[in-house]
């Protein structure tokens, strides 16, 4: 596996793997959230919103994005395959780096790629002069693998209560 800077030619693969990776997450969110609130959040389906979110993050000038690629798997062509990505934002005023978005293709989950992307991002933040790292995720069952990965990387939970009501 190799981590390299994102370029526009990675976009289709990043979008595809993200939507595949987040399908169980959004199924969990839908089950955990009030149905009217969920529909208000995702009126045209979550995939439409998330595809736009990934495209926007990858194009944003204030976000740094890297991809994980594999080259040594028989099912992957010689040019390599994009199997994960991480997006980082720096908040210089707080000396804080934020892992803004991260995903690993479901076919490659459980092999340390997410952990490697997070460690890469943390090292990059430290080199950029940040003294704190932050990542945010959901408390629902669909986000349990993400929480496990963040805790394994040494993140500590800061409990937050966020309430929603459909108007």
Q: Which residue has the tokens 């009501």?
A: 165
pLDDT class of 81 with cuts at 50, 70, 90: very high
Angle 115-116-122 (CA atoms, 0-180°, nearest 5)?
90
Separation between Cα atoms, residue 104 and residue 19, nearest integer Å: 10
Cβ(96)–Cβ(132) below 8 Å: yes
CA distances from 30 to 36, 101, 138 (A): 10, 20, 12
Question: Residue 76: pLDDT above 80?
Answer: no
Q: Residue 164 domain-assigned? A: no
Per-residue confidence (pLDDT) for residue 114, from 0 to 100:
96
- CATH number, domain with residue 12: 3.40.630.30
Domain that holds residue 107: 2-152
pLDDT class of 160 with cuts at 50, 70, 90: confident
Per-residue confidence (pLDDT) for residue 150, from 0 to 100:
96
Q: Residue 162 domain-assigned? A: no
Q: Residue 160 domain-assigned? A: no
Per-residue confidence (pLDDT) for residue 130, from 0 to 100:
97
pLDDT class of 151 with cuts at 50, 70, 90: very high
Question: Residue 118: pLDDT above 80?
Answer: yes
Name the pTM for this structure: 0.90
Which pair of structure tokens corresponds to residue 164? Answer: 């929603």
Nearest to 122 by CA among 133, 113, 136: 133
What's the domain count of the chain?
1
Q: Residue 159 domain-assigned? A: no
Share of residues in the chain with pLDDT > 90 (%): 87
């Amino acid at each position: 596996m190799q981590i390299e800077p994102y370029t526009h030619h990675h976009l289709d693969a990043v979008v595809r793997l993200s939507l595949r990776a987040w399908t169980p997450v959004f199924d969990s969110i839908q089950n955990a959230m009030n149905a009217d609130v969920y529909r208000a959040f995702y009126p045209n389906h979550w995939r439409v919103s998330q595809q736009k979110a990934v495209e926007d993050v990858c194009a944003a000038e204030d976000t740094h994005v890297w991809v994980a690629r594999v080259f040594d798997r028989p099912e992957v062509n010689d040019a390599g395959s994009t199997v994960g990505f991480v997006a980082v934002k720096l908040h210089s005023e707080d000396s804080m780096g934020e892992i803004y978005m991260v995903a690993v293709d479901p076919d490659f989950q459980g092999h340390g790629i997410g952990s490697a992307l997070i460690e890469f991002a943390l090292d990059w933040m430290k080199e950029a002069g940040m003294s704190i790292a932050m990542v945010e995720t959901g408390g629902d069952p669909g986000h349990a693998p993400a929480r496990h990965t963040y805790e394994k990387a040494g993140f500590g939970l800061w409990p937050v209560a966020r309430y929603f009501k459909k108007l």
